[in-house]
Amino acid sequence: MKISEILKIHSGSMIAFVGCGGKTSLIEAVIEELKEDLFPIIHTTTTKIFLPETSGEIIISTDFNIHMNAVKNNMNKVITLGYEINRENKVVGLPQGWVDQINRLQPEACILVEADGCKGKSIKLYETFEPCVPIHTKSIVVVIGIDGFTGGDILEMAHRPEQFMSIFENLTLPSIDERIAALFHKRGLIGGLKGTLDCYVFINKVTQENLATAKEIGYRIQALGDGYLKGIILGNTLSDQKVISVIGVR
């Protein structure tokens, strides 16, 4: 079962990946599935990412025209676009408006955008400026770690854990129900998206050992997001089998 098929990714798609740890690995898995297809694939970010491991040219420039020319000259190939490399050796992303311009000027390109950061943690709430999703994005994938629900102290599991103080009665050990409800908070990973895009949830770090628990959590998320969520994908971005099971995909 291919991620690209579940997400209906094709020429002209612009997909944003937000949420928690595993976004870059998930994008790289999609690129691996699509790289033989006869349309350009652009990997970029509106935040910061480590240099990708996937094959393809990497263009780093503060000049929009250099990016645009690179895309035109790399038809049917994979290309990564970034604004600059910072001191952490991370790719600093393109301005949001640039991504939309590239989409408008090169409509046959498939654009995969990492549009959120979390420092590798498994659960988070959005800041007021997050996520940084380009206007012409057609669908969005929310990545969440299974350990964000089943793990212990939220102070260790969450990105910016202090933000959870106002919604969790027990900050250190909130229940699974509380953690699921947090997704639909007005600043939650799903609730903060305001229901404007086709939305999929990818629950990461799923194994055969925790699959039953992951399914239970997935069904509860799908029920709460009924009418909005396009489906739940249970998988593991670090495994050869990226997709283990799907719930409600339509």
pLDDT digits (tens, 9 = 90+) for 119-146: 778 888 888 888 899 999 999 999 999 9
Domain boundaries, the chain: 3-247
The pLDDT, as a whole number, for residue 101 is 95
Does the pLDDT value for residue 235 go beyond 80?
yes
Does the pLDDT value for residue 171 go beyond 70?
no
The CATH-assigned architecture of domain 3-247 is 3-Layer(aba) Sandwich (3.40)
- For 148-151, which contacts have Cβ atoms below 8 Å and span 24 or more sequence positions? 148/20, 148/121, 148/122, 148/123, 148/179, 149/123, 149/176, 149/179, 149/180, 149/217, 150/176, 150/210, 150/213, 151/122
- What are 69-100's pLDDT values in tens digits? 999 887 768 999 999 999 988 899 999 899 99
Per-residue confidence band for 155, with pLDDT thresholds at 50, 70 and 90? confident
Between CA 207 and CA 244 the distance in angstroms is 8
The pLDDT, as a whole number, for residue 167 is 74
Per-residue confidence band for 61, with pLDDT thresholds at 50, 70 and 90? very high
CB 106 within 8 A of CB 40: yes
3-state SS, residue 95: coil
Between CA 115 and CA 110 the distance in angstroms is 15
Q: How many CB atoms lie within 10 A of CB 86?
A: 11
8: left (phi over 0), alpha (psi -120 to 50) or beta: left
Q: Helix 211-224 and helix 176-183: axis angle, to 10°?
A: 50
Rounded alpha-carbon distances, angstroms, from residue 134 to 74, 203, 211? 22, 23, 33
Give the lowest-confidence range in 111-115, 162-166, 214-218. Answer: 162-166
